[in-house]
Amino acid sequence: MIKNRVRCASIVLGVLGVGCIVAGVLLIVIGDSVVDKIIEKECQLREGTLLYKNWLSPPITIYMSVYVFDLKNPVEFLNGAKPLLIEYGPFVYKEQRTKTNLRTYENDTLSYQEPRQYIFDRSQSTYDETFKFTTINVIYM
C-alpha cells in the first residue's frame, strides 16, 4: 500500500517536473518575442495606449511645498543690523499639468504645450494663502 503511494507520488512529481521543464523552455523560446511585442505596442506614444493616456494626464498628484522666511527687523536690518528671520510653512500647492495644442507629424513626432497651474491646498498647509511676510530682496542688495 505504501509502495503504491510512493510510486504514484513519484509519477505525479515526474510528470509535473517534465511539464515545468517544457513550460520553461517554451517561455525561454517564445517568451522574449511576446514580451518584446507587448513592450513595443504599449510603450509607443500613440493614441489609445496606456502610456499615452498616462502621459496626457498623469495619474499621480504633484504637490509643491513652499517655505518662506519672514524678516522680523526690517528697519534695523536696513540700518546694518543682522537680520532676524523666522521660517514659516509649508504652503502646499497642487500642480495640475494639462497638455494642449497636440500635433502629430508624419515623421512620428509630436508637439504640445504644457501650461502648469498651481492650486493652493489649505488642508495640507500650515498657514492661509493670505499670510503676509517681509523678506529680503537679494537682487537689490
pTM equals: 0.63
The answer to whether residue 135 sits within a structural domain is no
Shared domain check, 112 and 70: yes
Print the domain residue range for 20.
1-43
Residue 82 and residue 109 in contact, taking contact as beta carbons nearer than 8 Å: no
Residue 80 and residue 94 in contact, taking contact as beta carbons nearer than 8 Å: no
Residue 92 and residue 127 in contact, taking contact as beta carbons nearer than 8 Å: no
Shared domain check, 56 and 102: yes
Q: pLDDT per residue over 18-74, tens digit each?
A: 999 998 888 888 877 888 888 877 778 888 888 888 888 888 999 999 999 999 999
State the CB neighbour count (10 A cutoff) for residue 134: 13
Q: What local confidence, expressed as pLDDT, does residue 1 receive? A: 65
Shared domain check, 27 and 76: no
* Cell 500613440 -> residue: 46
CA distance 42 to 31: 16
